[in-house]
Amino acid sequence: MVSHVINHILWRFVLIIVIITLYTPNLSAAKQSKINGLKMNVIDRCWRLNPEWRRHRPQLATCSVGYTGKMTNNIGKDLIHYIVIDPSDDPINPKRGTLRYGASVIQGKVWITFQRDMHIKLERPLLISSFTAIDGRGVNVHIANNACLMIFKATNIIIHGIRVHHCKPQAPGVVMGPEGKVIPLGHVDGDAIRLVTASKIWIDHNTLYNCQDGLLDVTRGSTDVTISNNWFRDQDKVMLLGHDDGYVRDQNMKVTVVYNHFGPNCNQRMPRIRHGYAHVANNLYLGWVQYAIGGSMGPSLKSEANLFIAPTIGSKEVTWRKSNHNNGDTWEFHSVKDAFENGASFTVTKGGRVPKPNYSNEQYFKVVDVNFVRSLTRSSGILGCSKTSVC
Ligand SMILES: *[C@@H]1O[C@H](CO)[C@@H](O)[C@H](O)[C@H]1NC(C)=O
């Protein structure tokens, strides 16, 4: 009888120890983030505090905000985990183990990771299939020195933690298409990431620089895009939202640009907006040459709680507009709670109402006070995720 009671007490004791052990990693992660003085934004806080993030990579899909909403279509029981082990590239007959095989050939939900650090020189643009996540966390992956990334008529795509740079224009030719069939592809400008008729795309924590055309183009009816936590630097034309003045389908384009770090050495288009609507919030602008935000063809912009630091020499004006006299000046540029340093100025549209993003519950995020922008964008671009602590 007595031994039974002792046994019972002993088991309780064991149970308590197990519970304590299970909860300790979370406690220490929170403590660590406090020690580092890290102030994480809402996207990062969703996964970076978990020291076991490597074992739960697809959980990232629940962390997005803004027009892309949550990326939960990318995860589930039928998710295929694919590991890139081979940095080589064959644009027509991709080998198993290469990035192109995982991104273009495999259909359905795919979560792509990389076995080790890699420099991938693509022979032709990489056409990413719908329901694909490319996850470079924990390794150094460069896509550089030739063709780069393209999302062509596809949806539900995550690009996270990749360096894309020194992208070059590509002559027309055939390439493995996003549906696993070889297709002809016309001339492609040297952009790092180009979206063509794409929707529900999340581009997070990438470092993009030094490309021959632009770093990120959202074109031809693309919409529902969130561009977050990226570092854009050393570039003339940074980000284009809206294909050309004549492409009216882009009137429906909605893009969220949040927690990005622009500069140093960026010239213009951060972004340049045509037709559609952009909510640009909590970004850090380290100078520009011609302008930071511009547009034509009746674009709408809500610039909210960004920190604009004007360059020491040159234009202090954040905005630029191309007036189109046939259509009148219908641009709507609104600045709300932005901060301006070094003499920066912002020409706003007089009168009218600030166009609200009208986010749904799952798209909504709280824009924070501009005083926190420096710390919230401090880890923009590639994260150094060490093996032992939080990412
Ligand atoms: C949000 O809704 C209001 C009211 O319907 C509308 O005027 C505004 O254009 C909408 N904003 C966007 C970005 O569509």
**HEC profile for 91-148?**
CCCCCCCEHHHHHHHCCCCEEEEECCCEEECECCCEECCCCEEEECCCCCEEEECCEC
Q: Answer whether residue 142 is part of any domain.
A: yes
- Whether 252 lines ligand 1, by a CB cut-off of 6 Å, is no
- Whether 353 lines ligand 1, by a CB cut-off of 6 Å, is no
DSSP state at residue 317: B
- Whether 102 lines ligand 1, by a CB cut-off of 6 Å, is no
Strand partners, 80: 110
Q: Which long-range contacts (CB under 8 A, 24 or more apart) does 18-26 make?
A: 25/50, 25/51, 25/52, 26/50
- Whether 356 lines ligand 1, by a CB cut-off of 6 Å, is yes
User: What is residue 36's predicted lDDT score, i.e. its pLDDT?
Assistant: 45
User: What is residue 351's predicted lDDT score, i.e. its pLDDT?
Assistant: 83
- CA dist list (Å): 243 to 5, 52, 220, 221, 296: 76, 41, 6, 8, 11
**From atom 6 of ligand 1, which residue's Cα is the shortest distance away?**
355
> Considering the entire predicted model, what is its pTM?
0.90
CATH number at residue 243: 2.160.20.10
Tens-digit pLDDT string for the chain (391 aa): 445 544 554 445 444 444 334 444 444 444 444 434 447 999 999 999 998 999 999 999 999 999 999 999 999 999 999 999 999 999 999 999 999 999 999 999 999 999 999 999 999 999 999 999 999 999 999 999 999 999 999 999 999 999 999 999 999 999 999 999 999 999 999 999 999 999 999 999 999 999 999 999 999 999 999 999 999 999 999 999 998 888 888 999 999 999 999 999 999 999 999 999 999 999 999 999 999 999 999 899 999 999 999 999 889 999 999 876 655 567 899 999 999 999 999 999 988 889 999 999 999 999 999 999 999 999 999 998 877 667 8
CA angle 238, 242, 243 (to 5 degrees): 95
Q: Which atom of ligand 1 is nearest to the CA of 300?
A: 13
Phi and psi torsions of 79, nearest 5°: -70, 130
SS3 381: coil
How many angstroms is it from 67 CA to the middle of ligand 1? 14
- Domain count for the chain: 1
Strand order across the 307-309 sheet = 118-120, 141-144, 163-165, 207-209, 231-233, 261-262, 284-286, 307-309, 339-341
How many angstroms is it from 285 CA to the middle of ligand 1? 27
- CA dist., res. 312 & res. 136, Å (int): 36
Q: Answer whether residue 16 is part of any domain.
A: no
How many angstroms is it from 75 CA to the middle of ligand 1? 31
- CA dist., res. 74 & res. 103, Å (int): 13
Q: Answer whether residue 14 is part of any domain.
A: no
Give the CA radius of gyration of the chain. Answer: 23
Q: Answer whether residue 352 is part of any domain.
A: yes
Q: Answer whether residue 156 is part of any domain.
A: yes
Q: Which atom of ligand 1 is nearest to the CA of 302?
A: 13
Q: Which residues are catalytic?
A: 269
DSSP state at residue 86: B
Q: Answer whether residue 295 is part of any domain.
A: yes
Domain that holds residue 241: 42-376
Tokens in use for 123?
């022979």
Q: Answer whether residue 15 is part of any domain.
A: no
**From atom 14 of ligand 1, which residue's Cα is the shortest distance away?**
357
SS3 186: coil
